[in-house]
Structure 1
Amino acid sequence: MKEIAVLGAGSWGTALSLVLADNGHKVRLWSHRKEQADEINQTHQNLKYLDVTLPSNIVAYSDVESCISGVKAIVIVVPTKAIREMCKQLNKSIEPSIPIIHASKGIEPVSLKRVSQMISEELDDYKYEDIVVLSGPSHAEEVALRHPTTVTVASLNSEHAKLAQDLFINESFRVYTSSDVLGIELGGALKNIIALGAGISDGLGYGDNAKAALMTRGLAEIARLGTKLGANPLSFLGLSGVGDLIVTCTSVHSRNWRAGNLLGKGHKLEDVLKEMGMVVEGVRTVKAAYQYAKEENVEMPITEGIYQVLFEGKKPNEVVEQLMNRSKREEMNDIAHLLYERYAR
């Protein structure tokens, strides 16, 4: 049994706290709002995010320094836009030897940094190689109900990856390990873009044919960019690639799908985000991926189309027409081609 700090009391942070608590660990769940921490401690509930009862071995904090004092591991689960500020607070009292696991999915616009890169930049005396990322098809609502879930933890430090695996794995939450931090993070971040597109497609009233095509070609875009940046193409066929893509594009639990669905029905982006009331990581990631595609000269027509809907005022049906009328070409399974290039020659 270990004391673990989970930083971020949203739905995902709360769900991961439940997994750790089920495994017998003492969990310190940090919230940036004192009233939320008080609610959790007094009622054993976090109703804004998850309608479940929290066990007594989850205790909420609103002070970061107290939350991380003496813990054996830190799990960061705040939105990507809050990562740098979170790390600046940690710098005041963190011990460099404490393993850090993050479960946030996104890419920082402009800098194009992944979450692990942002963490290593902001934390003094902490190596990028030691950070662990947790990702995969895992809706918080289902994890909290102990429905079978599988995820991947990735780190260049195999001992830290195995530690994370041991902390989280149980009969309803299966954990695999990987060394491809780049691929696991990119898969988890970029699938949110395609989920926005899937929601838009459903909002427009299109059927399964359209969504299947969107997901398939969307995975090709993710793989093209990911392998160009150095990721292992096999990662995009795994849990944090095609697995996460499926669950995020097809479920009403997905914030990105729900946001896209409203956009497809004609709502404006600012109204959608206000109605959601929670962070929609895909919106921010679209900016970063669009910039990445331009800088790396990678063809990403779906990403470009969604960017046009979100930030240039283009109507969703116009983007669909634009995609359907692209120049004729031979279909090539991008991932199969990338695997051939990497392994068969």
Structure 2
Amino acid sequence: MLDIKITKTTNPKVKPDESKLGFGKVFSDHMFLMDYAPDKGWYDARIVPYAPFVLDPACVVFHYAQELFEGMKAYRTAGNDIQLFRPECNGQRMQDSCDRMCIPQIPVDDYVQAVKALVEIDKDWVPHSEGASLYIRPFIIATDVGMGVHASKNYTFCIICSPSGAYYASGIDPVRIYVEDEYIRAAPGLTGFTKCGGNYAASIKAGELAEQKGFAQVLWLDGVEKKYVEEVGAMNIFFMIDGKIYTAACVGTVLPGVTRRSCIELLKDWGYEVIEGKLAIADIMKAGHEGHLDEVFGTGTAAVVSPVKELDWKGDKVDISGGKIGPVTQRLYDTMTGIQWGKLPDTKGWIVPVCKG
């Protein structure tokens, strides 16, 4: 168990208008920090006022991108309880990312304790408005000073929080998705299953090109044959064909999303057959044209569940669900958000209470 030292701010920030929060624009009063050194392990766990870092320009993180991050939320219920959704899953995924990125792992219990401690200190920053939440960003950076492509020996673990508005402020709006077949996001043996910044940096080019064409997201194909669907820029993705639900398997090139995992559990509980494996984009488009593509939806921390109304692959377009959210997608969204905000009972043991608001 961590011995967390707490230094509270003497100059609290003015909280923003909750009707204009957006995403990732403002940050709460405090942050969690912990350092790593070879002779000490992870040490000096502390919560301090939010402030800039002072880092040497020659830090490894700047030159060789040895870093990783997580994304999760804290929710305020109608009864003013503040709670987390499956934080241990994020802690385990961070451990897996650490292993791949040659960063010392943080015990899952310590990770969850740190998140809970920071959220409790900044509980007043958890929004009260419908659909809004406190976004939590844990991350680790390599802090060795010096050039040379090798793992750092010293690191900093930090957690910051940002109150974020409702993703669907004006109601759920199904999105158009562009299937990318030139650039790739990941390939076997690389870092596709980790949450490291390099994956996202490499995706920006295709994302901007898709946005210029009027699409909300990019659907990535596999990096070897450019044939099989993998994931969307900020989400995992599911396809319902003739009542069966397909999604790419997490075998090294797809991020193992916590929302993805939770939706699969719910779908199986409801009696749906969920198939995790290879699914060719050509087969999806064929199913769409022949009327067998029932629903398509993405899953992720920010949107929770996002319906898809159109796929575009090489100029060939398929319309889905009449441009509206499908019944399975809607049920998943309602159930997931109901559990997260305490509107539905947590029969799965997914909720971790933090404190009273």
TM range (shorter): under 0.3
> Which is helix-richer, 1 or 2?
1
> Which is strand-richer, 1 or 2?
2
Q: TM-score, normalised by structure 2?
A: 0.27
Q: TM-score, normalised by structure 1?
A: 0.28
Q: Compare relative contact order (CA 8 Å, sep 6+) and give the higher one, 1 or 2.
A: 2
